[in-house]
Structure 1
């Protein structure tokens, strides 16, 4: 069985009960990088056979690592490594780009382009962006990273007259637009929890069935025109969205 766990050596390892030795073997594999965030463990029966131990022993070791948060069980999928990742907070009171967010935290923002170009708009894009006639839409799909760690999947659509050449974007869409004198002044955002599709979990490096924060944004220019519509899927294990709320005026008693 091909595995980063040298299970055939477990019986000869010193260090207490078998379940403790198995637990430490898994912890060491995660700490050394042989098992990475999102990697699946072999099935419990396969571990038991390879290590020549009982499934009860395997279950006890895995149960403890699940309680500690190092592993997670996904019903119907298996057991996966969930090595802790740095959590980031994004205030909802400011309209900033992903690149600005990461730079403010002292991190290096990056992008992996999934697709970009000019396309015929969907019905939703036509309506939301106010497109008319034969106008096309500039659409960009990217995997966003922070210090090379996958953080979010992002799709953004803009009218083609605002972004006639999507290939000109380097790191930041907003900086590219600013060079052309285009700048959003306000935006509406809708946030919801979603389950990621299999392809999305692979791109983000998270276990199958993982949840994400879906952030849908409509940004406006000073004229009131819609500048962009976007949807981003943020890893829920790495990102917190934070809102600051003010206290309203106290209600007056009714006569």
Structure 2
């Protein structure tokens, strides 16, 4: 028994076991029971400790690798990642904005628009109940050598038919959200992070499962009401961003 890991997975609740496993591993890292550089037990040992299948363990670990809390070294195992460096006192918002603008200027291909119950992490992010549905929009952007960007957009409280007509372009999409919800969009909080693409994202982008990339998470608000949650995944080997920094941004003070 590894004293650092105390799994208590509850099969009587509707939360998937891999999600519970991921949350409890995250807690072990945040509480310091697992420290940067620590090796996780091998998948068979983790499966035995948690009382689940190796596939469940693998899925939970993949999600933490994507978040940057764990890292895999081929042939050596899975380790707790070093924490990222502290952000600058004035984050270069123009960098993220420049990336988003470059994406928006490219023609998107809408792969799917459908009403569905979202995954547990999306449901939690939107503050929805267990069986509440959202409209999911899946879009891709391609380069000459294949799809380079995958985007999943989750919008609660709207009708599929009207959203489908506006799904290809952000301005039309936001106008439709405002019209249907009777709100005015005021801001979007955006996080850009490096990641290893998950298996399902890699399949849709037609790249290897351990390909590195970027994830852009956007939460769009009308005042304090969250009206949209989206995840944009970029296969870095297929897409290069060009952003020009001003002198003041180059000389930005960092702590």
State the TM-score bracket (shorter-chain normalisation): 0.3 to 0.5
TM-score by length of 2: 0.47
TM-score by length of 1: 0.47
Relative to its length, the structure with more helix (as a share) is 2
Which structure has the greater CA radius of gyration?
Answer: 1
